[in-house]
């Protein structure tokens, strides 16, 4: 696979399985309905494992614009490749969200609550406060990118098996820091599916909550850059 196709495929798998577990838990009449936060966080951990494992060899498995920008900012990735990687990530995220909708169409129709339908695609805060929500996303993404940089360090790396510690890292972020905002920690993960929520013909879907969307983009970018510079100063 080319790096572009690898990033596209890995991100599509990430969102298909990640948004898929949310759909299974929050939509009506599914086998996993009301499965709870533990099911969602474990599902996202597995989604990360699959996405990273399938794309690591060809592209390095960024799957996240915050990771791509962080690596480029400390000269561990070529700036010339950044636009293509980010485009692939967003297209992959949108494709994964589309596939989730196709798989769960009947359950979207069976669900009356518009906020539950939106939750399948993107994040919303438990308590809406711009400053606190932004800080939470910065902290969560800092932990993610800081951990990834140490996992990928040559002396620590397990090669393709780095997918497992990265998945466990995301699981930990979700369990420990996901409560306030749902831990977007990835601009493509939130904005790509949010766009699909806006354009797909979902019955009674309500608002796509654009007023919150920038937090799930800006927060992760800031957190990733801070983590990169912290890593560079320590290593």
CATH code where residue 93 lies: 1.20.1080.10
What is the structure's pLDDT at 183?
98
| CA–CA dist 70, 222 (Å, integer) | 9
Total domain count for the chain? Answer: 1
Model confidence pLDDT, tens digit, residues 65-94? 999 999 999 999 999 999 999 999 999 999
Average pLDDT over residues 32-46: 98
DSSP per-residue codes, 3-35: HHHHHHHHHHHHHHHHHHHHHHHHSTT-TTTT-
What is the structure's pLDDT at 155?
62
Model confidence pLDDT, tens digit, residues 123-174? 999 999 999 999 999 999 999 999 999 998 866 555 556 799 999 999 999 9
Token readout for 74 is: 């400390």
What angle do helix axes 130-151 and 163-177 make, rounded to 10 degrees?
Answer: 160
- 153: region left, alpha or beta (phi > 0 left; psi from -120 to 50 alpha): beta
Q: How far is CA 129 from the centre of its chain?
A: 21
| CA–CA dist 61, 198 (Å, integer) | 27
Judge whether 158 and 165 are in contact, CB under 8 Å: yes
State the pTM of this model.
Answer: 0.96
What is the structure's pLDDT at 160?
57
| CA–CA dist 90, 5 (Å, integer) | 12
Judge whether 228 and 145 are in contact, CB under 8 Å: yes
Residue numbers of the domain that contains 100: 3-234
Q: How far is CA 11 from the centre of its chain?
A: 8
Q: With DSSP H G I counted as helix, E B as strand and the rest as coil, what are the percentages for the chain, rounded to 5?
A: 75, 0, 25
pLDDT band at 120 (very low <50, low <70, confident <90, very high): very high
Averaged confidence pLDDT in the chain = 96
Q: Is the pLDDT of residue 16 over 60?
A: yes
What is the structure's pLDDT at 235?
87
């Amino acid at each position: 696979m080319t790096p572009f196709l690898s990033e596209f495929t890995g991100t599509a798998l990430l969102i298909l399985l990640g948004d898929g577990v949310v759909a299974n838990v929050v939509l009506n009449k599914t086998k996993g309905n009301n499965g709870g936060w533990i099911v969602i966080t474990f599902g996202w951990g597995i989604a990360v494992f699959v996405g990273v494992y399938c794309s690591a060899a060809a592209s390095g498995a960024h799957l996240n614009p915050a990771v791509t920008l962080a690596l480029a900012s400390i000269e561990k990735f070529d700036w010339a490749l950044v636009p293509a990687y980010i485009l692939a990530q967003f297209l992959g995220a949108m494709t994964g969200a589309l596939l989730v909708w196709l798989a769960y169409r009947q359950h979207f129709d069976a669900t009356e609550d518009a906020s539950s339908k939106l939750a399948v695609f993107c994040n919303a805060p438990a308590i809406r406060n711009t400053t606190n929500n932004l800080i939470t996303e910065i902290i969560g993404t800092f932990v993610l990118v800081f951990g990834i940089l140490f996992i990928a360090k040559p002396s620590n790396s397990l090669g393709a098996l780095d997918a497992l510690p990265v998945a466990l890292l995301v699981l930990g972020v979700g369990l420990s820091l996901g409560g306030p905002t749902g831990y977007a920690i990835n601009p493509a993960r939130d904005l790509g599916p949010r766009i699909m929520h806006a354009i797909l013909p979902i019955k009674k879907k309500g608002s796509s909550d654009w007023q919150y969307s920038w937090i799930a983009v800006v927060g992760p970018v800031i957190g990733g850059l801070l983590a990169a510079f912290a890593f560079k100063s320590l290593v």
